[in-house]
Structure 1
Amino acid sequence: MSETYRIPGTPSLAVDLAGAGPLALFMHGIGGNRTNWRAQLPAFAPHFSCVAWDARGYGSSDDYEGALAFDDFVDDVLRVLDHFGVERAHLVGLSMGGRIAMRTALLHPDRVGTLTLLDTHEGFEAFSPEQRQAFVDSRRAPLLAGKEPADIAEGVARSLVGPKATQAQLQQLIDSIAALHKESYIKSLQATVDQVVLGDISLIRAPAHFVVGADDRLTPVAMHHEMAAKLGGAPVSVLPDAGHLSNIENAPAFNDAALAWLRPRAELGSVPRDWPH
């Protein structure tokens, strides 16, 4: 069973904790929060000290002053690791969380044991200008026009899930989008699109495993094979019956694939020195 805990600092971060072993940090996408991992923590907890965060400005984490630089998220990753006394962590990132994970591995290679990268991309350079504009306009324009996240939640959620998603899975995504902090979400959208490219991901040295839903329309399977080739032929697991939220839409397949790859590499991450259990 996970428990909610706060990482002090500005802004303070809310995290769910579970398990024991080397630390694995789970990072949600741009429209998510820590509850997006509720089907993962029980499966990973027997093998790893699991931390699922609400990124700054999300969920129960604090909002913050001023604009967001994407690398602020990277600084927050280091803050989490330092708080628990962890030298190297396993990073598990969905969509935006995957980009945070790759960026951390580029900037701080000594702090990253492995990367598990779900339904993600290496920056908006991989998208046409039209795709980029459509991504932002469908989310930001209604909010700037006075609507709230709850007003856009169902439309955005339906654009992300695959055709096999259940009503319960769709509702989980709708709920997480509806719970977004409006101003912080707009800042995240701006920072995401401003960062056209993460950097040269071929320089990443941490072992990586890509996981993608077979029906992911936003970041399709081919995009993951291209990234994997840049990382020396990293493995790509394609999950059936899943769209852009593969860990939610096909949790059993995700948990099986991710743990089969990660468990033999567990010792590449550090066991927390300070773990509140």
Structure 2
Amino acid sequence: MTDAAPISYARTVRGSGPGLLLAHGAGGGIEANYGSIMDGLAAQHTVVGVDYPGSGETPATEAPLDLDVLVDQLVAAADAEGLDTFAVSGYSLGGPVAARTAVRHPDRVTSLVLSATFAHVDTRTELATDIWHALHESGQHVLLAQYLTLLALSAPVLNSLAPAQVRAAAEHTAAVIPAGTGAQVDLVRRADVREDLAAITVPTLVIVTAADSLIPATLQHQLAAAVPGAEIAELGTGHLPFVEQPKEWLGLITDFLGRQQDRH
């Protein structure tokens, strides 16, 4: 058997200024995860992101996803846009992608911002992703969307909605769940960058989503503690800072990146 032909990764490019690469979460995409803050990021940076297989315009693949391949594709997008150096922002699954990028390309990565993320999953999060994966593969996408709403929104935000609103939102979400969700969630379960963290040498901000039921704050703090000199900021949100507090999330990212640029 021959290997399948390589797929072409869809690329988002916005703005001008210092480079900023974006790595998105499982079952998301660059637009889904960063769209609400993209204008603010692009006002100060040349923003480059790639959609993983089965998200955005990137075709799905039959092969299991590999963290290093995602890193390669992100850096290749930076190369294609002429960016020699760049900061990297990783959200959720994008956190391990960003961390691995910094370790593999220490001469090119200038700083890291890791939001709502993990170095590896614990038993609770593995159980949550097992259910996520099973619901996706079974085609029960409305039930999956309801389950993700329960896990991803903070209790105050979820309780501010009527049950009928939640149901309607779930039906809408179910219709746009990326085809590559199953493979991306499978990578969440396998990703483990614990051995990479001590080798990170660039300024790093870990943004902890304090009311997160999918990636608990404990996991996020464990990651931060293992990165030398990492700064920690907390948002009182669930797993979706871009839904619950986009302005605050943007402010944390841009303030940190601005401080790093002022030092050079």
TM-score with structure 2 setting the length: 0.84
Q: How does 1:238-277 map to 2 (within 5 A)?
A: 238-240=234-236, 242-266=237-261
Alpha-carbon contact 1:138-1:156 (below 8 Å) kept: no
Q: How does 1:1-277 map to 2 (within 5 A)?
A: 10-35=6-31, 36-124=33-121, 127-128=122-123, 131-144=124-137, 146-165=138-157, 178-182=175-179, 184-240=180-236, 242-266=237-261
> In the alignment, residue 19 of structure 2 is paired with which amino acid?
L
Alpha-carbon contact 2:112-2:205 (below 8 Å) kept: yes
> In the alignment, residue 59 of structure 1 is paired with which amino acid?
G
> Which ranges of structure 1 fall in alignment gaps of 5 or more residues?
1-8, 270-277
CA distance in 2 between partners of 1:95 and 1:224 (Å): 10
Alpha-carbon contact 2:27-2:184 (below 8 Å) kept: no
> In the alignment, residue 127 of structure 2 is paired with which amino acid?
A
- Return closer, same or farther for 1:174/1:159 CA change in 2, 3 Å cut-off: farther
Alpha-carbon contact 1:208-1:234 (below 8 Å) kept: yes
Alpha-carbon contact 1:212-1:244 (below 8 Å) kept: no
Number of residue pairs matched? 253
CA distance in 2 between partners of 1:133 and 1:93 (Å): 20
Alpha-carbon contact 1:19-1:45 (below 8 Å) kept: yes
Q: Percent identity?
A: 25
> In the alignment, residue 136 of structure 1 is paired with which amino acid?
T
Instruction: Report the 3-state secondary structure (helix = DSSP H, G, I; strand = E; otherwise coil) of the residue aligned with 1:110.
Output: coil
CA RMSD of aligned residues (A): 2.7
Alpha-carbon contact 2:125-2:214 (below 8 Å) kept: no
Shift of 1:268: 8.7
Alpha-carbon contact 1:32-1:176 (below 8 Å) kept: no
Write out the 4+ residue segments of structure 1 that deviate beyond 4 Å after TM superposition: 169-178
Instruction: Report the 3-state secondary structure (helix = DSSP H, G, I; strand = E; otherwise coil) of the residue aligned with 2:211.
Output: coil
Alpha-carbon contact 2:208-2:221 (below 8 Å) kept: no
> In the alignment, residue 159 of structure 1 is paired with which amino acid?
L
149-158 vs 108-117, greater mean Cα deviation: 149-158
1:170-204 alpha-carbon deviations (Å, 9 max, x no partner): 8889856642344x322222233223445230111
CA distance in 2 between partners of 1:119 and 1:10 (Å): 30
CA distance in 1 between partners of 2:169 and 2:246 (Å): 13
Shift of 1:142: 2.4
Shift of 1:108: 2.2
TM-score with structure 1 setting the length: 0.80
> Which ranges of structure 2 fall in alignment gaps of 5 or more residues?
none
Alpha-carbon contact 1:31-1:176 (below 8 Å) kept: no
Shift of 1:85: 1.5
